[in-house]
Amino acid sequence: MGFFDKIKQGLKKTSDAVNHSLDSVFAAFVKVDDDLLEELEEALILSDVGASTAAKIVAEVESAPSCARPPRRTSCATCSARC
């Protein structure tokens, strides 16, 4: 296995762990509220996203007009792509 293959494999593991973590957070909540935002921020920080990036993502999710709807990982991924 080459150097770049090892990097790809490591990034895939990280991506899978982040996706699993976010899926479990969103599965536990029906609406966007303070508890969800706190769990989301914690999951992002534990996923090594960084505190400032996690705070930006949480603020974007909180201010998104779709907050009245149940959260979906894909819609929050769109929010996080803008941060």
For residue 6, which amino acid is it? K
The overall pTM is greater than 0.85? no
pLDDT class of 67 with cuts at 50, 70, 90 = low
pLDDT digits 0-9 by tens, 14-65: 888 888 888 888 888 878 888 989 999 999 998 888 899 999 999 998 887 6
Above 70 in pLDDT, residue 83? Answer: no
C-beta neighbour count of 5 within 10 angstroms: 9
Q: How far apart are CA 5 and CA 73, in angstroms?
A: 28
